[in-house]
């Protein structure tokens, strides 16, 4: 009996151990199956659209899981402009070229006729940039016309147009005192920044402000031009992963810069105009179900000031720098501007010089749009709602199909009737979403250029770079190193 009982206990112990082993093996098996399922679903999610362009017979760049075909940009190996320009040049005969941004199909549009339809004729299908940054916690983004969508964009556009019309357009009146003291080799950006600081103070602030009070323009400009490492990372998220930027409630402008501006803005001309247009155009459109309280007048003024710096000041500074860099190589163009000191002929020729500068060095090298409903292109291609389209502005401007010797600076190519296709030249965009500040920015650039050229002969110097070094800053194209030229006063 004792032996039988011991045998039973031994069998029970072995059975218990067996069950434990089976349970453990079952757990590992279940965990492994769950892991494989998660990986499979994730892989399916990130690669869902990888064959999108293949089945539509559109040439495309091969995509990589988690990066799409945008991996060069995501990894920081190339900026957006360099990537788009490389694809444009690599496939010269393609009217449309497909990419995958992370996981969403993106279409590079190289045909000016299609660009015209997208930006003008069929604007209703491409009125959205698709970034979603109008919902940001960053007051400077959610009230920026560049990022606004829907009804909010319509109302803000009307308000900004009214604000711009109210500004003094005799820009040259603000330039006195900023053009003296220069003689010899000069840092072009610093020279122009001093002039633009005064110009934007004249446009936005109160003429009775002290010099210290007016330094808020310089503070905002410096914050944009010289971001810290943390701010660069936040800007990277904003441009490449906007959903993460929104999720973490980030802001790119330092709080210190914003706080310093509040007291000055309260007494500024800009604040008076903000109160006027807010009342006139009811700039209080809120997203549905939003719990965020209405922005105060001072918050709106801060956001508009930030817009003037990021979408006005910085592009003007870079275009002016590029203009003088080109003019330094072409003294005959400078001479022609000086000979027609005033009158319609001078305005027309200087306008051609500025247009040629914007062709070679556009302030924005690409433009993006989101398809808001299923759309059929003239050649029969059908794309779905939610896809994005990229317009390669810089690449279009330097395409030999539309410009003879596109690498050469030649203002005369803009003589009436010479341009091969109007929509192969879109430095300010086109259609209803065309840059609202085009007229003002061209007035600023022409006024400053004219006054400097009447006072100085501009030449290259020993420090002049053999090429204009450019990179991307957010969505803008900027000159990323100091440019030196020789400015010699004209007797």
d(CA 10, CA 158): 88
The CA distance from 329 to 323, in Å, is 10
Domain interval for residue 414 = 71-489
How much is the pLDDT for 289? Answer: 44
Q: In total, how many domains does the chain have?
A: 1
Q: Across-strand partners of 98?
A: 60, 107
Q: For tokens 């941004």, name the residue.
A: 101
Task: Judge whether 435 and 303 are in contact, CB under 8 Å.
Answer: no
Residue 300 inside a domain? The answer is yes
**Residue 376, φ and ψ in degrees, nearest 5:** -115, 125
Residue 288: pLDDT above 90? no
User: Which domain CATH number covers 201?
Assistant: 1.10.630.10
User: What is the signed CA dihedral for 251, 256, 258, 259, rounded to 10 degrees?
Assistant: 130
Q: Residue 446: its pLDDT value, please?
A: 93
Classify residue 129: in a domain, yes or no.
yes
User: Would you say residue 1 lies in a domain?
Assistant: no
Q: Residue 21 domain-assigned?
A: no
Residue 97 bridge partners (DSSP): 108
Asked, for residue 278, whether it belongs to a domain, the answer is yes
Q: Which residues pair with 485 in a beta bridge?
A: 186
Per-residue pLDDT tens over the stretch 340-395? 766 556 778 999 999 999 999 999 999 999 999 999 998 889 999 999 999 999 99
Query: For residues 191 and 68, what is the distance between their CA atoms, to the nearest angstrom?
Result: 43
Write down the pLDDT at residue 174: 74
Here the tokens at position 113 are 């006729």
> 40: number of CA atoms within 13 Å, CB side?
6
In-domain check, residue 127 = yes
Note whether residue 86 is domain-resident.
Answer: yes
* pLDDT tens digit sequence for 435-489: 999 999 999 999 999 999 999 999 999 999 999 999 988 788 999 899 999 999 9
- Tell me if 396 is assigned to some domain: yes
Query: Dihedral (C-alpha) 205, 208, 212, 218: value to the nearest 10 degrees?
Result: 30
State yes or no: pLDDT of 28 exceeds 80.
no
Question: Is pLDDT above 80 for 281?
Answer: no
pTM: 0.89
Q: Which helix (H) or strand (E) holds 8?
A: helix 2-46
pLDDT tens figures, 134-146: 888 888 888 888 8
């Amino acid at each position: 009996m004792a032996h039988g009982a011991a045998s039973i206990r031994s069998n029970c112990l072995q059975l218990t151990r067996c069950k434990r082993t089976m349970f453990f093996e079952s757990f590992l098996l279940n965990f492994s199956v769950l892991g494989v399922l998660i990986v499979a679903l994730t892989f399916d999610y990130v690669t869902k659209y990888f064959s999108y362009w293949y089945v539509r017979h559109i040439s495309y760049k091969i995509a990589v899981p988690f990066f799409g075909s945008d991996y060069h940009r995501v990894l920081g190996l190339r900026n957006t402009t360099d990537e788009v320009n490389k694809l444009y040049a690599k496939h010269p005969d393609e009217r449309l070229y497909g990419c995958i941004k992370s996981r969403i199909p993106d279409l590079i549009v190289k045909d000016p006729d299609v660009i015209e339809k997208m930006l003008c004729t069929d604007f209703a299908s491409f009125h959205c940039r698709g970034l979603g940054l109008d919902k940001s916690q960053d007051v400077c983004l959610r009230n920026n016309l560049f990022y606004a969508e829907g009804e909010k964009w319509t109302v803000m556009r009307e308000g900004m147009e009214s604000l711009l019309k109210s500004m003094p357009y005799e820009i040259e009146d603000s330039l006195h005192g900023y053009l003296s003291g220069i003689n010899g080799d000069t840092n072009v950006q610093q020279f122009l920044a001093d002039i633009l600081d005064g110009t934007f103070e004249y446009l936005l602030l109160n003429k009775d402000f002290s010099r210290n009070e007016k330094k808020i323009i310089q503070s905002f400009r410096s914050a944009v031009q010289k971001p810290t490492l943390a701010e660069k990372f936040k800007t990277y998220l904003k441009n490449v992963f906007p959903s993460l930027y929104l999720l973490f409630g980030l802001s790119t402008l330092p709080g210190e810069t914003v706080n310093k501006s509040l007291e000055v803005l309260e007494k500024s001309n800009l604040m008076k105009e903000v109160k006027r247009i807010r009342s006139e155009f009811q700039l209080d459109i809120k997203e549905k179900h939003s719990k965020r309280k209405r922005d105060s007048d001072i918050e709106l003024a801060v956001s508009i000031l930030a817009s003037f710096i990021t979408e006005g000041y910085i592009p003007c500074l870079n275009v002016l720098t590029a203009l003088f860099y080109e003019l330094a190589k072409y003294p005959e163009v400078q001479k022609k501007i000086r000979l027609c000191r005033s009158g319609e002929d001078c305005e027309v020729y200087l306008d051609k010089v500025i247009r040629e500068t914007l062709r070679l060095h556009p302030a924005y090298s690409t433009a993006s749009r989101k398809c808001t409903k299923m759309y059929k292109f003239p050649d029969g291609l059908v794309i779905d709602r939610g896809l994005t389209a990229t317009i390669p502005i810089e690449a279009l401007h330097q395409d030999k199909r539309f410009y003879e010797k596109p690498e050469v600076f030649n203002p005369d190519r803009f003589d009436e009737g010479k341009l091969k296709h109007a929509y192969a030249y879109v430095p300010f965009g086109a259609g209803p979403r065309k840059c609202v500040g085009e007229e003002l920015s061209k007035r600023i650039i022409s006024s400053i250029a004219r006054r400097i050229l009447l006072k100085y002969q501009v030449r290259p110097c020993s420090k002049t770079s053999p090429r204009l070094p450019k990179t991307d800053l957010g969505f803008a194209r900027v000159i990323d190193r100091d440019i030196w030229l020789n400015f010699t006063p004209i007797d």
